[in-house]
Amino acid sequence: MLSKNEEKLIEVRERTVEIFEALTKSQKEALTALENCDAQAFESIMVPLKSIGKMVTDIDNLILTIFALYTPEAKDLREMVAFLKITSSLQRIATNEKNYIKKMSLCTEETDDDIKRIIKESLHINRCTIRALEYAIEMVKETEDMDRLKELNAKIDVEYSKTDDVYAIVEKDVLQVMHNNYTMNDENVNILKYIRKNLKIIDRLEDISDRLMFARMGGKL
């Protein structure tokens, strides 16, 4: 029979997974909207993100309640400390996603062909982010198999590395377009800025992955 502390800890994990799933849903919808440059689709993408602030607050309050009432020790205490930091990162990811989606809604049927092409090249970053989110969900759920946790952590690192390579290619493409047109086009510069904002999402996921490793295996946070 589970103790009250263990029951509450399971609830923290389950609620954290719900946030990850909402972020994954919005990323997938944004990917589809950008693949099709569908301006109308952007209107519904924000929906999964609207409740994340409250979800994060609820988890933080639950963790504080566990601290106050059940005095977790050792491994459980370490996990609670890690999850307090993880929820903060999830809130920042939600903010990054909102800003990115809002800015990228510029992609419509009338958008310049060069801009459309650059956006579609950048979507490899979105696909890497979706895979990293799915790996992170599995990490939250996996509490026993340490080898599997290490494997998932490594997979997130690989996806993160891929995004750096994609951004370098996209940046080179944008600079080439501006060179060919003999102009410093604000729209092209802004596209790079928005894509960099998207990169911050997977950057935070890598940090979350490391915190989950700390929660399960110890070490430095």
Q: Which of 78, 59, 84, 73 lies closest to 8 in space, CA to CA? A: 59
Decide if pLDDT at 34 tops 80.
yes
Give the predicted TM-score (pTM) of the model: 0.90
Confidence check: pLDDT of 39 > 60: yes
The secondary structure element, H or E, covering residue 144 is none
Conformational region of residue 108, where left means phi above 0, alpha means psi within -120 to 50, and beta covers everything else: beta
Residue 129 maps to which CATH number? 1.20.58.220
Instruction: Tell me what pLDDT residue 184 has.
Output: 59
Q: Which domain covers residue 117, as residue numbers?
A: 4-217
When the pLDDT of each residue in the chain is averaged and rounded to a whole number, the result is 87
- Position 193 scores a pLDDT of 85
Cα separation of 104 and 67, whole Å?
41
Q: How many domains does the chain have?
A: 1
Contacts (Cβ under 8 Å, ≥6 apart) of 135: 152, 155, 156, 159, 209
pLDDT tens readout for residues 157-192? 999 999 999 999 988 888 887 777 666 567 777 888
Task: Summarize pLDDT for 97-141 with one digit per residue, the tens.
Answer: 988 888 887 777 777 888 888 888 999 999 999 999 999 999 999
pLDDT at 41: 80
